[in-house]
Amino acid sequence: MQHNDLTQFRTDGTLYLSAPAAAELVRRKGLANCIAAMADNLRDDFKRWPEFDKTARVASHSKDGVIELMPVADAQRYSFKYVNGHPSNTAIGMSTVMAFGVLADVDTGAPLFLSELTLTTALRTAAMSAFAAKTLARPESRVMALIGNGAQSEFQALAFQHLVGITTLRLFDIDPQATAKLVANLQGSGLNITVCNSTAEAVCGADIVTTVTADKTMALILTPEMIEPGMHINAVGGDCPGKTELHGDILDAAKVFVEYEPQSRVEGEIQHKAEDFQVTELWEVLLGQKAGRDNAAQVTVFDSVGFALEDFSALRFMFAAANALGLGEHTALIPQLADPKNLFGMLSTPTPVAVPRRVATAA
């Protein structure tokens, strides 16, 4: 399979999956199936955690936002994601988060697969949240508060419905139009939905609380008096320096889990905590090296910031699915040279400018 990927690259070039093509892929396979398959990849890859070459993401901060590169590799495959975060973009009709990425061959450096990752990131983030909640939340969890009803919220709702067994949602957003959009998009999902007037109202009685707000500030979305014994808090929105969602006392009273501690210390909810604040990396729980939830009354927090390995898992799924469905186009992102030492030769041979051609058949 991996040998075939390189053969395909050498024959046809890089497989490119645009945003509309990724949406077509998700429509054909079904959203719940895609999220479930990504969650399977995430579990497999997190269990291989020590095999990966990991680095904290490389961030370039500016006045209104951040642009990040997130690389990771195992012995066979390398991936990176480009992703921005610009909360003010929505005011001019653009997305807060835009992303794309590449899956490459470690042995040769060949970029096998170039894909949109805006839609894909929403799926993988939801798959990661649900996968972590399956590991950490009480198994009988059925009610979820969903605070922040923006671009990520539908994916979170459906991932928790299909992977965790959530049946009831309690919604709040400071923007009522965002909530109305979420309610409309979830029609026909079978979820029981209550629109609430405040975060406190939404959180009251929930088994799981998901925060996925976008402001680039040190917000206090959740405060200690809202928290009930046994809750699992899925903190998605606090994911870069200066951007948090939880009151510090919540973290002190809970058991806190992270993806990759060196990155979470800088970007996560724990950025305000001392260096020796105790956290558990999720892979340690998966491999049985550390305990997850200790008892039914304990409050657990998944302080999620989004780690490069999650995009690796997602790209693996999208690449395989695009090949299987014959979606995407092959393109000469890299020159195809008769003699690799004769790069100059491509200038003297006026080949036609390539028009990417559609993949005709499944690989």
Ranges within 47-66 binding a copy of itself (CB under 8 A): 53, 55, 58, 60, 62, 64-66
300 strand-pairing partners: 232, 255
| Distance in Å, CB of 110 to a copy of itself, minimum | 7
- Given the complex with a copy of itself, which of 245 and 329 has the nearer CB atom? 329
Q: Which of residues 108-167 bind a copy of itself (CB under 8 A)?
A: 108-111, 116, 118-119, 122, 150-152, 154-155
Beta bridge partners of 258: 281
Indicate left, alpha or beta for 93 from its phi (over 0: left) and psi (-120 to 50: alpha): left
Binding segment (CB under 8 A) for a copy of itself, from list 38-46, 175-183, 197-205, 284-292:
175-183
* Contact between residue 79 and residue 72 where contact means Cβ atoms under 8 Å apart: yes
Residue that has been written with the tokens 């939340």 in this structure: 137
Are 257 and 235 a contacting pair, CB within 8 Å? Answer: no
Q: For residues 351 and 347, what is the distance between their CA atoms, to the nearest angstrom?
A: 9
Q: Give, as ranges, the residues between 250 and 289 that touch a copy of itself (CB under 8 A).
A: none
End-to-end CA distance of the chain: 10
102, β-bridge pairs: 80, 114
Q: Which stretch binds a copy of itself (CB under 8 A): 16-24, 138-146, 203-211, 221-229?
A: 16-24
Q: What Cα–Cα distance (Å) separates residue 47 from each residue in 76, 130, 287, 301, 313? A: 16, 16, 6, 20, 12
Q: Which of 29, 82, 167, 363 binds a copy of itself (CB under 8 A)?
A: 82
User: Is 31 a residue that touches a copy of itself (CB under 8 A)?
Assistant: yes
Residue in 44, 107, 249, 261 binding a copy of itself, rule: CB under 8 A: 107
Sketch the per residue contact string, 297 through 336, with a copy of itself: x for CB under 8 A, - otherwise.
------------------------------x-x-xxxxxx
Among the listed residues 12, 24, 40, 201, the single contact to a copy of itself using CB under 8 A: 24
Query: Are residues 246 and 211 in contact, defined by beta-carbon separation less than 8 angstroms?
Result: yes
- Residue 80 touching a copy of itself (CB under 8 A): yes
Enumerate the active-site residues: 239
User: Should residue 237 be labelled a site residue for a copy of itself when binding is judged by CB under 8 A?
Assistant: no
Nearer to a copy of itself by Cβ, of 355 and 360: the residue is: 355
**Of the two residues 274 and 338, which places its CB atom closer to a copy of itself in the complex?**
338
Task: Give the Cα separation of 196 and 143 in Å (integer).
Answer: 14
- From residue 198, give the alpha-carbon distance in Å to each of 140, 145, 223, 255: 25, 11, 12, 26
90 binds a copy of itself (CB under 8 A): yes
Nearest to 132 by CA among 239, 208, 52, 50: 208
Q: Using the rule CB under 8 A, is 190 a contact of a copy of itself?
A: no
